[in-house]
């Protein structure tokens, strides 16, 4: 096999590398707690800052700098006063710890947050002067063989299932289930936690066939804003069960455990490809539009994957022999339960031929590298998302249905052109399709944006900025907002995926939840009349606003 670089999801390390090199000597801080013993702690903090695991295993630290208001970056020239971090953390290992923390916050009007891993792209797992419930050590996993009977239900749900505590991360589940020859619909990074992932919706390489993570949920245990510990499923507390499958984290209560359907671990056929040309060739966005027009049929045929669209990207095979800069589509695709390369090539080659015919002046090439993996876990151990944490970046999201992808190709190409001028690239997650459209979630529905049920792809854009630099922050938001506008023009009637979206998304209630918002709001008012849980952008947060780190009545 040629060794193409293992692929990294959105995080772009370029800026960071510079940053790291500038930081000659580490001086400050560690995730907000003040240590007098800096001399031995700091090198480890600096070394860990760009890894997901460092922030996951720290009680207060989060993956993206700006959400702590850059108030304790461990690099020279940056002050560390910890003002952006919680004041106290409950290291919860039992449901009782969660209950007492929630009750305390409710009774004393203390700002409350929940931190699982701190991966959140919209900053919901941290707040200044707050009490934080840290669920990391709630790591219990239990297997249910053959069937699972939700509490209060008369009959059992057939099939194997697994119950995961709130602190369980993706890799814990995959490791646990691998010996059974099974897996779950889980996220791309080993370190993402079930708490935020599932309450936001949860997409996966396996969703195209099996539905979203919320579609796998059989039962949830929840500590409500009153501090009660309840079971929510299709027979009990149905409203909370519905709302917490997609209505967002830290809004309706604290998930203490979740029971999920497990699925047989598939064989994975994996392809990395570059469908494109040199960055100076004509018709690059036309080639991209052609590829996008094929996505619905590729998805219907079982292909899933992550692809990157850019007019200019570094040649993944290196500058020699090819040109250093390419334009087009770079990506990784998977096909399950086959190890026949032809199954994959037969889907892709007609597209390459069509592109070569339609754009003869563009010298279109296709560099597929195909690998075979015997199980999901074998594949995941190589192709999990191992990007970098510790940067400052804003994300944006938009879901695309078939009409956007297969509509007027010229118009699509022109919009891709504008978009890529603004943010450089578009990341297209081919993680929806049949499995999501035809899912039969328990209780008849979930709270995720209805747009998921008709969209083939979830797209993200991202824009990094320099920490503690207000003008660079403003520049990045401006570029991101302009690009989001283009995405919204492309798909005016869909929505966005809350977990990988823009914190300051306009019209966020409608964008993240569509027609589900009204019911979500009613449930929020019912279970949390005192707004014990507050975050932004989160259901029902309209009665308060954040002013210099404090919550004030609107
Ligand atoms: C590297 C990376 C890869 C990703 N890959 C995927 C992917 O493949 N698919 C996908 O769908 N998403 C993906 N995401 C997005 C991910 O789903 C969100 O970042 C999600 O919010 C992470 O949840 P968490 O619990 O790990 O993080 P946290 O930041 O700890 O929590 C996120 C939100 O959930 C709340 N929360 C956490 N635990 C609980 C709980 N027990 N009860 C109630 N609320 C809780 C928090 O308060 C916060 O509001 C990825 C993110 C990153 C950074
Ligand atoms: C949190 O609790 C766990 C389990 O009891 C313990 O191992 C860990 O050291 C605690 N962490 C901190 C920072 O107190
Ligand atoms: C290729 O690009 C040129 C210049 O933008 C454009 O005029 C032409 O229509 C494109 N060709 C196709 C087949 O789209
Ligand atoms: C077309 O692309 C191939 C592969 O990158 C390259 O070897 C060849 O020189 C290119 N031809 C032209 C005319 O650009
Ligand atoms: C802030 O970022 C801008 C680019 O947006 C840059 O020109 C400027 O030098 C930066 N300021 C500092 C203090 O680094
Ligand atoms: C963030 O930090 C800046 C100082 O760098 C301060 O002026 C500002 O008030 C802080 N914001 C919040 C919300 O605390």
Best of 32, 69, 73, 503 for a ligand 6 pocket test (most atoms within 8 Å of beta carbon)? 69
Instruction: Give the DSSP per-residue string, 26-83.
Output: --S-STT---S-HHHHHHHHHHHTTSHHHHHTSSS--SSGGGGTTTB-SSTT--B--T
Residues in the chain: 554
Which tokens in the block code for residue 41? Answer: 């702690």
Among 361, 363, 364, 367, which is best to mutate for testing ligand 4, by the most ligand atoms less than 8 A from CB?
363
Taking the CA of 472 as reference, the closest ligand is 5
Q: Is 224 in the pocket of ligand 1 (CB under 6 A)?
A: no
> Which residues, including other chains, have CB under 8 Å from residue 202's CB and lie 6 or more apart?
185, 186, 187, 212, 213, 214, 499
CATH number at residue 278: 3.40.462.20
Q: Which of 125, 198, 207, 245 to mutate to test the pocket of ligand 1 (most atoms within 8 A of CB)?
A: 125
Residue 254 sits in the same domain as residue 105: no
Question: Which atom of ligand 3 is nearest the CA belonging to 361?
Answer: 1
Domain coverage including residue 30: 4-134
Tell me which residue of 32, 384, 368 sits closest to 204, measured CA to CA.
Answer: 384
- Ligand 1 in contact with 116 (CB < 6 A)? yes
Alpha-carbon distances, residue 97 vs 89, 107, 127 (angstroms): 11, 15, 20
Give residue 137 CA to ligand 2 midpoint distance, Å: 7
123 lines ligand 6 (CB under 6 A): no
User: In the chain, what is the straight-line distance between the N-terminal and C-terminal CA atoms, in Å?
Assistant: 60
Question: Does residue 208 line the site of ligand 1, with CB under 6 A?
Answer: no
The closest ligand to the CA of 33 turns out to be 2
What CA–CA distance (Å, rounded) separates 252 from 539?
A: 9
The span from the CA of 97 to the CA of 283, in Å, is 59
For residue 285 and ligand 3, the question of a CB distance below 6 A is answered with no
> Could you tell me the two tokens for 149?
């009977």
Q: Is the CB of 479 under 6 A from ligand 5?
A: no
Q: What is the pLDDT of residue 153?
A: 98
- 311 lies in the same domain as 256: no
CB 358 near ligand 3, within 6 Å: yes
Nearest atom (ligand 4) to Cα of 322: 5
Same domain, 209 and 251: yes
Please give the pLDDT value at position 78.
85
Looking up tokens 């245990």, which residue turns up? 221
- Number of Cβ within a 10 Å radius of residue 34: 12
The best mutation among 283, 357, 358 to test binding of ligand 3, ranked by most ligand atoms within 8 Å of the C-beta, falls on 283
Asked if 200 and 282 sit in the same domain, the reply is no
Q: How far is CA 478 from the centre of its chain?
A: 22
Q: Tell me: do 356 and 300 sit in the same domain.
A: yes
Output the pLDDT for position 317. 75
**Is the shortest distance between the CB of 187 and ligand 1 below 6 Å?**
yes
The minimum-distance atom of ligand 5 relative to the CA of 475 is: 5
Tell the residue nearest (CA) to atom 43 of ligand 1.
254
Within this chain, do residues 224 and 348 fall inside the same structural domain, yes or no? no
- Residue 128 sits in the same domain as residue 38: yes
E strand or H helix at 308: strand 304-314
- Mind listing the pLDDT tens digit of every residue in the chain (554 residues)? 222 233 222 222 222 222 222 222 223 333 334 433 344 457 889 899 999 999 999 999 999 999 999 999 988 788 888 899 999 999 999 999 999 999 999 999 999 999 999 999 999 999 999 999 999 999 999 999 999 999 999 999 999 999 999 999 999 999 999 999 999 999 999 999 999 999 999 999 999 999 999 999 999 999 999 999 999 999 999 999 999 999 999 999 999 999 999 999 999 999 999 999 999 999 999 999 999 999 999 999 999 999 999 999 998 777 777 789 999 999 999 999 999 999 999 999 999 999 999 999 999 999 899 999 999 999 999 999 989 999 999 999 999 999 999 999 999 999 999 999 999 999 999 999 999 999 999 999 999 999 999 999 999 999 999 999 999 999 999 999 999 999 999 999 999 999 999 999 999 999 999 999 999 999 999 999 999 999 999 999 999 999 998 999 99
State which of 264, 294, 321 marks the end of a domain. Answer: 264
Q: Which atom of ligand 6 is nearest the CA belonging to 549?
A: 13
In whole angstroms, give the CA distance from residue 449 to residue 513. 4
Ligand 4 atom with the smallest distance to the CA of 323 is 5
Residues 71 and 83 sit within 8 Å (Cβ to Cβ): yes
In this structure, what token pair is assigned to residue 238? 């149905």
**349 in the same domain as 275:** yes
Yes or no: say if 283 and 361 are a contact pair by the CB < 8 Å rule.
yes
- Most informative mutation of 85, 93, 137, 167 for ligand 2 (most atoms within 8 A of CB): 137
153/502 Cα distance (integer angstroms): 39
Among residues 317, 461, 420, 387, the alpha carbon closest in space to that of 7 is found at 387
Token reading at 220: 């949830």
107 and 121: one domain?
A: yes
CATH number for the domain spanning 203: value is 3.30.465.10
Q: Which amino acids bring their CB within 6 angstroms of ligand 2?
A: 59, 91, 93, 137
**Residue 297: left (phi > 0), alpha (psi -120 to 50), or beta?**
alpha
Q: Residue 40, class by beta-carbon neighbours within 10 Å (0-12 exposed, 13-18 middle, 19+ buried)?
A: exposed
Alpha helices in 179-280 (DSSP H): 194-200, 207-210, 238-243
Closest CA to 24 of 8, 42, 1: 42
For ligand 1, atom 38, which residue shows the shortest CA distance?
195
In Å, how far are 62, 446, 511, 520, 540 from 515, measured between CA atoms? Answer: 32, 12, 10, 9, 15
Please tell me the distance between residue 355's alpha carbon and the centre of ligand 3 in angstroms.
12
Tell me, yes or no, whether 495 and 544 share the same domain.
no
**Closest ligand 1 atom to the C-alpha of 187?**
8
Cβ of 277 below 6 Å from ligand 3: no
Residue 303 and residue 194 share a domain: no
Looking at the CA of residue 409, tell me the nearest atom of ligand 3. Answer: 14
Give long-range contacts, CB 8 A cutoff, 24+ apart: 506-513.
Answer: 508/537, 509/537, 509/539, 511/449, 512/248, 512/449, 512/537, 513/246, 513/247, 513/447, 513/448, 513/449, 513/539
Last residue of a domain, one of 247, 264, 281: 264
Last residue in a domain, options 231, 264, 297: 264
Spacing, Cα 470 to ligand 5 middle (Å) = 8
Work out how many domains the chain is built from and give that number: 4
Find out whether the beta carbon of 79 lies less than 6 Å from any atom of ligand 6.
no
Same domain? 326 vs 394: yes
Centre of ligand 6 from the C-alpha of residue 17, in Å: 26
CA of 25 to the centre of ligand 4 (A): 47
CA distance 396 to 145: 40
């Amino acid at each position: 096999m040629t060794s193409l670089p293992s692929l990294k999801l959105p995080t772009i390390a370029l800026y960071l590398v510079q940053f790291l090199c500038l930081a000659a000597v580490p001086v400050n801080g560690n995730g907000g707690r003040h240590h007098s013993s800096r001399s031995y702690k700091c090198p480890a903090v600096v070394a860990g800052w760009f890894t997901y695991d460092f922030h996951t295993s720290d009680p207060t630290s989060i993956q993206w700098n700006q959400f702590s208001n850059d108030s304790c970056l461990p690099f020279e020239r940056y002050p560390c006063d910890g003002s952006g971090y919680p004041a106290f953390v409950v290291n919860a290992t039992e449901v009782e710890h969660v209950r007492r923390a929630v009750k305390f916050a409710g009774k004393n009007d203390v700002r409350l947050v929940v931190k699982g891993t701190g991966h959140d792209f919209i900053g919901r797992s941290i707040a200044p002067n707050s009490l934080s419930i840290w669920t990391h050590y709630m790591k219990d996993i239990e297997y249910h063989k053959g069937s699972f009977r939700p509490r209060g239900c008369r009959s059992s749900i057939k099939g194997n299932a697994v119950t995961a505590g709130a602190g369980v991360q993706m890799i814990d589940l995959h490791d646990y289930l691998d010996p059974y020859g099974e897996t779950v619909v889980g996220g791309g990074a080993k370190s993402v936690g079930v708490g935020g992932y599932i309450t936001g919706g949860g997409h996966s390489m396996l969703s195209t066939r099996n539905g979203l993570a919320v579609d796998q949920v059989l039962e949830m245990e929840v500590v409500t804003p009153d501090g009660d510990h309840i079971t929510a499923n299709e027979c009990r507390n149905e409203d909370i069960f519905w709302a917490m499958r997609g209505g967002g984290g830290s809004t309706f209560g604290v998930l203490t455990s979740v029971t999920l359907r497990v699925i047989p671990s598939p064989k994975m056929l994996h392809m990395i490809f570059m469908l494109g040309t040199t960055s100076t060739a004509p018709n690059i966005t036309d080639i991209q539009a052609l590829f996008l027009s094929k996505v619905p049929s590729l998805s219907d045929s079982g292909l899933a994957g992550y692809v990157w669209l850019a007019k200019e990207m570094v040649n993944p095979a290196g500058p020699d022999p090819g040109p250093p800069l390419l334009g087009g589509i770079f990506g990784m695709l998977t096909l399950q339960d086959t190890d026949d390369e032809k199954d994959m090539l037969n889907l892709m080659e007609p597209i390459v031929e069509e592109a070569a015919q339609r754009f003869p002046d563009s010298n279109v090439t296709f560099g597929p590298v195909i690998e075979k993996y015997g199980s999901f876990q074998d594949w995941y151990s190589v192709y999990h998302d191992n990007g970098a944490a510790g940067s400052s970046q804003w994300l944006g999201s938009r879901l695309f249905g078939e009409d956007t992808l297969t509509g007027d190709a010229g118009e699509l190409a022109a919009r891709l052109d504008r978009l890529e001028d603004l943010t450089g690239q578009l990341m297209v997650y081919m993680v929806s399709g049949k499995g999501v459209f035809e899912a039969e979630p328990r209780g008849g529905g979930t709270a995720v944006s209805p747009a998921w049920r008709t969209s083939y792809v979830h797209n993200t854009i991202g824009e990094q900025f320099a920490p503690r630099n207000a003008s660079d922050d403003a520049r990045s938001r401006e570029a991101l907002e302009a690009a989001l506008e283009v995405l919204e023009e492309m798909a005016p009637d869909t929505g966005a995926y809350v977990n990988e979206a823009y914190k300051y998304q306009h019209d966020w209630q409608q964008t993240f939840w569509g027609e589900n918002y009204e019911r979500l709001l009613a449930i929020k008012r019912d279970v949390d009349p005192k707004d014990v849980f507050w975050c932004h952008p989160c259901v029902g947060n309209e009665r308060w606003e954040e002013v210099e780190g404090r919550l004030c009545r609107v």
